[in-house]
């Protein structure tokens, strides 16, 4: 009864203009819309456009013709998909929190929709230029790591929690001397009673430098600086002062404002920013409601991360193959516009981002993973490294052996005949 009475008083109008041609200054969103009972997709889309721009649920005396000109416009409806154009005047440049509050805000809670998913965004140049973008991007990371052609290989120290600072650093050392390029903290490891942030960074950087001298290879450590914003910035400065080149941050737990503050601080620190997407599935998993991983990845690229987790296709994390491929290509600037819901952008001077694949990977996945996503990826192995029958160092060796095999066009099983670490890994996880 209440919903029926409410809908009689909802009067957004003029927001559906199917003949409208978006301008270069429009921000364009594509939504999947599941309308509430008794409503058409057209009517539901009209409410979405109104609520996310200038409208409200009833006529108001303060609405003028001049204001109506900057209202959002639904210009395409195909099935349950609607495209909405937003004049750039609706957004504060350089303020990602305000932008997302508009296009991914109140609209998800409206009663006249049963489901709503923000699938993709086309960003106008004026807004794109107001964000810093990555400091290093793919090419910059390759210069720092001195890995020119193959995928970067890494691990996450396991167990996630429980190791003290020296134990953590020792595990990292074993992975590095085994052949891995990168070691990173896990997403929920910060400043613990049993593992203090400053001491962990100091100990692990010391072991990193030891591994570099012994192997002759550049090694990378990604300490997790995620915290309250001012503390996070302090930790980032400590990482820099410790002689390290990288940091890691949980982007969704930190929020867009915190991530922008970290990127702003990084103008002087010049650290590679590794973005972990912990918690993303609360937004991305439901195909009929929420926000796509593509939107989160593009937003993070604009703000300025250099690497971001996107999924694996072959590992333990949920994620459709086509979606993961699209995100990797968009981050790398090789997107082929094959799907109607992918709007795509011309990123211009905004550097490409390294896609990170993590979650249930082991050496036996590497051939399929590289066939699907190519060489411009960072592969992170947790249990798939430390769970090797002979330990972390052997796990690192098995991973590098598998990468070398694929890079040289050799079947993993054939390569395992002369590489014992790979053979044992394939035996355990085949």
Q: Which residues are catalytic?
A: 158, 276
The residues near 422 (Cβ < 8 Å, ≥ 6 apart) are: 363, 397, 398, 401, 402, 405, 412, 415, 416
Q: Tell me if 338 sits within 8 A of 112, measured CB to CB.
A: no
d(C-alpha 237, C-alpha 248), whole Å: 13
Classify burial at 242, counting beta carbons within 10 Å of its beta carbon; exposed 0-12, middle 13-18, buried 19 or more: middle
* DSSP H/E element including 152: strand 152-156
**Cα–Cα distance between 402 and 412 in angstroms, integer?**
6
Token pair 């971001």: residue: 308
Q: Count CB neighbours of 155 within 10 A.
A: 30
CA–CA separation, 63 and 87 (whole Å) = 17
Rounded Cα distance, 391 and 96, in Å: 44
Give dist(CA 378, CA 358) in Å, integer.
8
Cβ atoms of 373 and 355 closer than 8 Å: yes
> What are residue 185's phi and psi, to 5 degrees?
-65, 155
**Alpha-carbon distances, residue 217 vs 52, 67, 367 (angstroms):** 51, 60, 24
- Per the listing, tokens 């973008």 go with 133
d(CA 84, CA 51): 12
CA 125 – CA 26 distance, rounded (Å)? 9
Contact 182, 400 (CB under 8 A): no
> Phi and psi at residue 409, in whole multiples of 5°?
70, 30
Structural contact between residues 384 and 362, judged by C-beta atoms closer than 8 angstroms: yes
- The 10 Å Cβ neighbour count of residue 289 is 16
């Amino acid at each position: 009864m209440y919903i029926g009475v409410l809908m009689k008083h909802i009067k957004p109008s003029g927001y559906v203009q199917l003949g409208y041609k978006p301008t270069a200054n429009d921000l364009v969103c594509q939504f999947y819309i599941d309308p509430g009972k008794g409503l058409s997709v057209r009517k539901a889309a009209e409410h979405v456009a109104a609520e996310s721009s200038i409208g409200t649920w009833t006529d108001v005396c303060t609405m003028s013709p001049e204001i109506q000109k900057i209202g959002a416009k639904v210009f395409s409806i195909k099935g349950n998909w609607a495209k909405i154009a937003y004049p750039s005047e609706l957004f504060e440049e350089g303020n990602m929190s305000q932008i997302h509050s508009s296009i991914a805000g109140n609209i998800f809670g409206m009663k006249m929709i049963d489901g709503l998913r923000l699938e993709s965004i086309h960003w106008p140049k004026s807004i794109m230029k107001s964000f810093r973008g990555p400091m290093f991007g793919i090419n910059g990371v390759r210069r720092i790591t001195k890995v020119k052609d193959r995928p970067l290989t890494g691990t996450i120290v396991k167990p996630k929690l429980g190791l003290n600072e020296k134990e953590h650093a020792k595990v990292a050392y074993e992975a590095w001397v085994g052949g891995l390029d990168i070691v990173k903290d896990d997403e929920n490891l910060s400043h613990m009673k049993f593992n203090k942030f400053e001491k962990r960074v100091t100990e692990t950087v010391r072991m990193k430098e030891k591994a570099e001298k012994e192997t002759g290879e550049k090694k990378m450590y990604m300490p997790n600086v995620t915290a309250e914003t001012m503390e996070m910035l302090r930790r980032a400065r400590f990482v820099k002062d410790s002689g390290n080149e990288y940091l890691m941050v949980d982007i969704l737990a930190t929020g867009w404002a915190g991530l922008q503050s970290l990127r702003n601080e990084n103008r002087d620190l010049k650290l590679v920013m590794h973005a972990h997407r912990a918690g993303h599935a609360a937004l991305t998993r439901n195909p009929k409601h929420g926000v796509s991983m593509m939107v989160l990845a593009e937003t993070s690229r604009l703000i300025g991360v250099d690497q971001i987790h996107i999924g694996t296709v072959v590992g333990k994390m949920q994620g459709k193959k086509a979606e993961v491929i699209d995100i990797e290509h968009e981050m790398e600037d090789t997107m082929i516009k094959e799907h109607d819901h992918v709007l795509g952008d011309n990123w211009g001077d905004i550097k490409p981002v390294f896609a990170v694949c993590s979650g249930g990977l082991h050496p036996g996945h590497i051939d399929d993973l590289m066939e699907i996503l190519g060489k411009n990826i960072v592969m992170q192995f947790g249990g798939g490294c430390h769970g090797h029958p002979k330990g972390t160092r052997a796990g690192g060796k098995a991973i590098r052996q598998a990468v070398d095999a694929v890079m040289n066009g050799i079947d993993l099983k054939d390569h395992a005949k002369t590489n014992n670490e790979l053979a044992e890994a394939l035996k355990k996880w085949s």
